[in-house]
Amino acid sequence: MITIKANKVFGCLLGAVLAMPLVAQESLQVSDYQGIAYVSGGVGVEEREALAAMSDRFNLKLTFAMSAGNYLSDVQVRIVDRSGNPVFEATADGPLLYALLPPGSYTVQVNGFEQDFQRQTQIQANKQNSVSLLFGSNS
């Protein structure tokens, strides 16, 4: 009787562990903003692993963190083209945001934790550009 219960418990635990990456990947839905595909998240190891698995579909990776290293979420993101026209706006659901932009020059504008940043970035079709934004510093 005890062996059967132990096997059932082990089976349930194993099933839960194996399903964790699937749950994280299912919760990370690729969204669309005016034709720009994007996904954000990265809260927890499972979400970061799920994002890493899908990262090759995107050509821009944004990372949000405190200068002390703590990851952040709820950062307002706005991307404008060379002419200053907004092409993307979203609130990051975690410390990582991936987007698929047309090739070109862009300015990434972020707002969060009483700080505003702007970063210039050049997007290429087949290469991912990574931009890290550290809050609580002068960068």
Residue pair 112/74 in contact (Cβ under 8 Å)? The answer is: yes
What pLDDT digit, counting tens, does each position of 73-92 carry?
A: 999 999 999 999 999 999 99
Helix axes 45-54, 2-27, angle to 10 degrees: 50
The enclosing domain of 13 has a CATH number of 2.60.40.10
Share of the chain above pLDDT 70, in %: 79
* pLDDT number for residue 22: 45
In whole angstroms, what is the distance from residue 130 CA to residue 36 CA?
A: 17
The average pLDDT across 15-36 equals 66
Structural domain span for residue 115: 2-135
- Residue 131: what residue type? V
- Residue 68: what residue type? A
- Say what the pTM is: 0.79
* pLDDT number for residue 88: 98
Task: Give yes or no for residue 128 having a pLDDT over 90.
Answer: yes
Query: What is the number of structural domains in the chain?
Result: 1
* pLDDT number for residue 16: 42
In whole angstroms, what is the distance from residue 5 CA to residue 8 CA?
A: 5
